[in-house]
């Protein structure tokens, strides 16, 4: 298990690194060429600037059981299809049961914006959002580890 991060606009990189160190997990951060980043822990991948270039590079590197952090519903859907676990920067865990609704919501919002309707932007981020994300990521990793142990025991 590794953690792959759609990192261009990810506000929880520090939290991801802290938790990854606790669980001794590798972290792969993906950025486009307009960013520079170094944290001394994660592997940093810089890809060409362009539509979905970061998303595609990240998805191409995923393996089943990886944890993907992204706010992009398309990335989430592709990662789920590859057997990954996915959560957004607020700690919302995407599943096969909720991803279709999120994709439909995105399509509907795009349709509204194209027709000239103004949609609300994201809420201002609070420190409680970082805490919620950290709790969710930690619980997800523990759940994956517990499932792996049970599976290995034949339970």
Task: Give, for 26, the enclosing helix (H) or strand (E).
Answer: strand 26-32
Residue 47: partners with Cβ closer than 8 Å, 6 or more residues away: 30, 31, 32, 33, 53, 54, 57
1 exposure class (CB count in 10 Å sphere: 0-12, 13-18, 19+): middle
CATH 3.40.1130 fits 2-153, yes or no: no
Question: Domain spans of the chain?
Answer: 2-153
pLDDT in tens, the chain (155 residues): 999 999 988 999 999 999 999 999 999 999 999 888 999 999 999 998 878 899 999 999 999 999 999 988 889 999 999 999 999 999 999 988 777 667 667 566 677 777 887 777 667 889 999 999 999 999 999 999 887 544 444 44
């Amino acid at each position: 298990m590794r953690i792959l991060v759609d990192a261009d606009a990810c506000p929880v990189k520090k939290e991801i690194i802290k938790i990854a160190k606790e669980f001794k997990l590798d972290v792969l951060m993906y950025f486009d060429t307009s960013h520079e980043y170094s944290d001394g822990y994660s592997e940093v991948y810089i890809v060409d600037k362009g539509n979905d270039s970061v998303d595609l590079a990240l998805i191409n590197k995923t393996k089943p059981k990886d944890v993907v952090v992204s706010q992009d519903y398309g990335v989430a859907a592709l990662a789920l299809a590859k057997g990954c676990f996915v959560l957004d920067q607020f700690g919302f865990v995407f599943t096969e049961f909720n991803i279709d609704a999120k994709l439909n919501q995105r399509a509907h919002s795009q349709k509204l914006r194209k027709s000239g309707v103004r949609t609300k932007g994201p809420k201002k981020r609070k420190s409680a959002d970082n805490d919620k994300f950290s709790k969710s990521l930690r619980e997800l990793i523990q759940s994956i580890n517990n499932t792996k142990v049970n599976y290995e025991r034949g339970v």
